[in-house]
Structures are given as structure tokens and as C-alpha cells.
Amino acid sequence: MKKFSWGNFFIGFFILAFTLLCLLPMVLTFMVSITDETTIMRDGYSFFPKKISFYAYELMFRDGSSVIRSYIISIAVTVVGTLSAVVITGLAAYTLSNKNVKYRNALGMYFFIPMVFGAGIVPWYLICNMLHLRNNIFALIVPSLLFSTFNMFLARNFMSSLPDSLRESATIDGANDIVIALKIYFPLTVPALATIGLFYGLGYWNDWWNAIMLVDNEKLYPIQYLLLQLKSQISMLKDLQYLSGATSMTVPSESIKMATAIVTIGPIVLLYPFLQKYYVKGLVVGSVKG
């Protein structure tokens, strides 16, 4: 049995209090999402609403098949896009960390330039049209598939810290660069790859820009764009109600915002705790194999 320590007690108490403070905004968001709109207008946001109403969720799931279909599309796009982007980024990082590659510094500068200068929306849109990225599932994946230069440099710096003897030993044993990258460098770079994978996953899950620019088919709408449209429709109804002076029905503009936040952040919040173990596992694997 461990001896009681006031220091450990205060540390644990501080961590618990900080955790509860972090959870309070999410709890408040959920409580507001199930609060009657009239009550919100009268009393404001509250952890203990006087009148419960699920009307905001009823509006969102009124056409349940659309929401479920959009969820499936978003999940598929996030999984496929994240895995593909991590592999492409990792291979590019391995190339730039390989001291045997000629002009790798010049190539790194070539990748760095887009971080400072951007061509704009019009060339991006024209290239997407040339690649026939219109009204298909690839329009939601490919435009964001080109790796982030910041993520690539993050992975490259991590790989550069690995000893060159790993690559030299594998080369002597007859392994090519693809085998070395996938079977040696990638396992040892799990912490960096997991980090950039989280960045890519959040980007794909929260993306609605590609749907606005490249998708007109309602059956291909991701969940973020579908809920964005719903919020716009609710706002328009509220404006029309205000202009017409109608008071027979209260449009749930505030509660629908909070319900939208709950629905969209749910998968990410549930997934994030499981990603932490990959950080720890990657550190352990890297320390053992390194």
C-alpha cells in the first residue's frame, strides 16, 4: 500500500479539476442543444434548462437516411484520405531524410515554396476539373490528398534523427527503399505519423469546402456540408419569421447550432482517446528497435 502524500493528492486534485473544466463547455453545449428555444431566448444558456426539447435533433434527423448516408461518406473519406495522405507524406519525408538522394535540399525548398506562396482558388478549381474531380467520391479525397508541407517536414525531421546505420544495414541485406521506408522507418516513426494522421483526419472530417466547390450531388454530401446547409436553412427561416412578424412557431436557431456541434464532434471525441496509446506504443517501439 502506497504511503499517503499531500503532494500527490494536490497533483491529482489539480488534474481532476482541470479535466472537469475542460468537460464543462461540452456539457453546456449538449444541455443547450436539448433546451427549448423559447427558454434559451428568455434565460440564456444554462446547465439546468427549465424546459427540455429535442426539436433540434428532430429537425436534423427528420430525413434520417440523409444524415446516416452523409456520416458514412464522411467516415469513408476520412479513413481513406487519412491513410493515403500519411503514406504519401511518410514516403516524401523518407526521401528528403535520405542523405543518398541528390539535390534533396533543393527538393525540400521546392516543397517549402507553396507554404509561402499560393496560386489561389482559380488554378486549383481548373486543375480539379481537368482531373474530372466533379460529383464523385474522389472529389472529396484527392484535392486534400496532396500532403501538407508542414506535416512532411515534421516527419522528415523525426526520420532524420534515426541513425543512418539502419538504412545502410538494410541496403546491405538487399532491401530497397520502399521496404526500408515501410518496414523500418515507418514503425520507428509511429509517434510522428500518428500526429500527422490526427491532423489529416481532423482536416478530412471537418472539410466542407471541397463539397461546396466540387459536388452538386446530394448523395455525396459529407456530414459537415449537410449540417451546414441545415443551419443555413434554419437561419433563413428565422429571418423570414422576423420579417413577417410571425410568432406561432419558434425556430430553434441556437439549439440547432449546439446540436450540430455535438453531432459533428462526436466521432472525433470518441476516437482521440484511442489514438493516445499509439503515441505511447510508437515511443516504446522506437526506443527498443532504435
**What string of DSSP letters covers 140-196?**
GTGGGTSPPHHHHHHHHHHHHTS-HHHHHHHHHTT--HHHHIIIIIHHHTHHHHHHH
Note whether residue 180 is domain-resident: yes
Note whether residue 36 is domain-resident: no
Note whether residue 40 is domain-resident: no
pLDDT of residue 278: 59
Residue 159 to residues 93, 191, 196, 240, Cα–Cα distance (Å): 7, 11, 14, 57
Note whether residue 144 is domain-resident: yes
Count of the separate structural domains present in the chain? 1
Range of the domain at 181: 61-289
The CATH number of whichever domain residue 261 belongs to comes to 1.10.3720.10
Per the confidence metrics, is the pTM higher than 0.85? no
What is the distance between the alpha carbons of residues 109 and 103, in angstroms, rounded to a whole number? 10
Note whether residue 10 is domain-resident: no
Closest listed residue to residue 188, CA positions, set 274, 280, 287: 287
Note whether residue 21 is domain-resident: no
pLDDT of residue 77: 92
pLDDT of residue 285: 43
pLDDT of residue 288: 42
Note whether residue 22 is domain-resident: no
pLDDT of residue 231: 72
Give me the tens of pLDDT residue by residue for the chain, a chain 290 residues long. Answer: 567 677 787 888 888 888 888 888 888 888 888 888 788 878 778 888 888 888 778 777 776 667 788 888 988 999 999 999 999 998 888 888 888 888 888 888 888 887 777 777 888 888 888 888 888 899 899 888 876 788 888 888 888 888 888 888 888 888 888 888 888 888 888 878 888 888 888 888 888 888 888 888 888 888 888 878 777 777 776 666 666 665 555 556 677 778 877 877 766 776 666 666 655 554 444 444 44
49 touches 34 (CB < 8 A): yes
pLDDT of residue 290: 41
Note whether residue 67 is domain-resident: yes
